[in-house]
Amino acid sequence: MKLLRGMGVLCLAGLGLTSTGCLKAMLLKGQIKGTRDGSAAVNTLHDWEIARGVATAGIGQLEGFHKLAPDNTDALFMLTRGWAGLSFGFTEDDYEEAYEKGDDVMAEYHLLRARAGYARAKHYGVELLGHHAEGFDAARRNQDTISKWLKENFTDKEQAEDLLWIGYAWIGHVSASKDVPEIVGELYVGVEMVKRSAELDDTLVYGTAYTILGAYHARTAMAELDESKAYFEKALALNGGKYLATKLNYAQRYYCAKGDKVAYEKTLNEVLAAGDELPEARLPNVIAKRRARRYLGNKVWQEECGFKL
């Protein structure tokens, strides 16, 4: 009620606003908040094709919300999460289909689409950061400065979700831009955001911060595999293996980097065999199963693991 009373004072004080205009602003704010509260329903969808249509249409509505209410943090959050999720769940899928078919032209096209989607998510994420604290551009100059800035300005558990999705978008942009040194060189920014998110609330999205960090530590030939395994095990301890993205990444990142084909295949088959044990995360699990089937069914995805095929 205090918030509503404050809004009323602003309406009366804003000489440039008509009462109708202020009412519209209040209604828009409520609509955006309601959209965020109801957005979790999309994750219960069982059909990947339907979910793709819903996500594509939904992102247009979110862009409209931002146009009408550019400072609304719920809209900024949903745009960050929405563009990152759309890029991973659907655009990257288009890329993988083209890549495994050997269609270099379409693979490059879809890779650039994914890169642009993550870049847009990052853009809105940086805007959202500005509503929490000033000084991000200066803080991002190296790993120590960004870590210090995050610890000084993000101290509330409620801030963890913003950091998780901004970090996710940042890392996704790097993953889709491996041939762009200036983008790859700022990977640490996204990693530090995810780390700070986990420090504030590691339970978000079934331990997804730990899954991201597990994948990060298995990313190169000089991988820190002990750290990678520890993070994946933390995620599994939180979600009980029911959130299948953890096992998918455990196989495709850790076991691939380790060169353990038996564990790789076993873990991906566990993903495929899993039942509908987490209805509230049905769509992410459908996506994980779709990827697991692809990674098991085409040797092109196992070549980088060094497996004998």
- The full set of domain ranges for the chain reads 1-44, 47-305
Distances, alpha carbon 35 to alpha carbons 39, 58, 135, 303, in Å: 6, 10, 30, 43
141 burial (CB, 10 Å; 0-12 / 13-18 / 19+) is exposed
pLDDT at residue number 14: 42
pLDDT surpasses 50 at 48: yes
Write the CB contacts of 41 (distance below 8 Å, at least 6 apart in sequence): none
pLDDT surpasses 90 at 25: no
pLDDT at residue number 11: 39
Band (pLDDT 50/70/90 cuts) for residue 6 is very low
Range in 147-151, 195-199, 218-222, 274-278 with the lowest mean pLDDT: 218-222
Give me the amino acid identity at 127: E
Report, as an integer, the average pLDDT of 42-67.
97
pLDDT surpasses 90 at 22: no
Range in 3-7, 69-73, 177-181, 246-250 with the lowest mean pLDDT: 3-7
User: What is the tens place of the pLDDT at every residue in 249-265?
Assistant: 999 999 999 999 999 99
Helix (H, G, I), strand (E, B) or coil at 241: coil
Report, as an integer, the average pLDDT of 58-87.
97
Q: Which structure tokens are listed for 7?
A: 């809004």
Q: Distance between CA 217 and CA 207 in Å, rounded?
A: 16
Q: Distance between CA 30 and CA 280 in Å, rounded?
A: 24
Q: Distance between CA 54 and CA 122 in Å, rounded?
A: 22
pLDDT at residue number 16: 46
pLDDT surpasses 50 at 65: yes
pLDDT surpasses 80 at 221: no
Place of tokens 């088959």: 269
pLDDT surpasses 50 at 1: no
By percentage, how much of the chain surpasses pLDDT 70?
A: 93
Q: What fold does the segment set 47-305 form as a domain?
A: 1.25.40
pLDDT surpasses 50 at 5: no
Sign (positive/negative) of CA torsion 166, 230, 148, 173? negative
Q: Which of 160, 163, 186 is nearest to 173 (CA)?
A: 186
pLDDT at residue number 308: 73
Phi/psi of residue 161, each to 5°?
Answer: -65, -40
Q: Which of 190, 201, 207, 200 is nearest to 147 (CA)?
A: 190
Q: How many distinct helices (H) and strands (E) make up the chain?
A: 17, 0
Name the average pLDDT for the chain. Answer: 93
Report, as an integer, the average pLDDT of 155-163.
98
Band (pLDDT 50/70/90 cuts) for residue 19 is low
